[in-house]
Amino acid sequence: MHSSRGRRLGAALALSAVVALEGTFPAWAWTTKYGHVGAADGRLRPGCHHYRYHYVVEPPTDDWMLETWLFDPRGKPRGSGDFAPGSDPERGHSHFGVCRSTVVPGRYTIKARFTWTTPGMLPTDPPVEHHRWFKPAHFRLHR
């Protein structure tokens, strides 16, 4: 019984070290290790239209989610999207709906957060959720 307690203590210390290391990275740090998002420059057409973008995820597990947000040149949120296994492929296209009357031409930004889940260290531990921000993608919409 003593060795079982020792193994649990060792596992708890290892988990504490991992959590401490993850906490040392700034929340705003972005990565390209797990995928990316992007969009081509385009023309801001009169009325409301869909503007296409692409995404690629390289998940380390089968339990993942990608969330995307579109910001206009003034920094105002203009749309969002989410992707998950089972309903979405690991690479694909989507679109944001934008109405010309509510936005200005200029540089738009797509921000994306990638989340995946891994099992806990011990069989009785809850799953561990990991979050990484992709490098923001920029594109221009001109009149």
How confident is the model at residue 31, as a pLDDT?
A: 79
How confident is the model at residue 126, as a pLDDT?
A: 92
Handedness of CA 94, 89, 25, 129 (dihedral sign): positive
In percent, the amount of the chain with pLDDT more than 90 equals 72
pLDDT over 70 at 26, yes or no: no
pLDDT over 50 at 86, yes or no: yes
Q: 28-142 is classed in which CATH architecture?
A: Sandwich (2.60)
How confident is the model at residue 13, as a pLDDT?
A: 41
C-alpha 45/C-alpha 100 separation (Å) is 7
| DSSP secondary structure letter of residue 22 | H
30-77 tens-digit pLDDT = 778 999 999 999 999 999 999 999 999 999 999 999 999 999 999 999
Q: Element (H or E) spanning 17, and its range?
A: helix 2-23
How confident is the model at residue 14, as a pLDDT?
A: 44
The chain-wide mean pLDDT, for the chain, equals 85
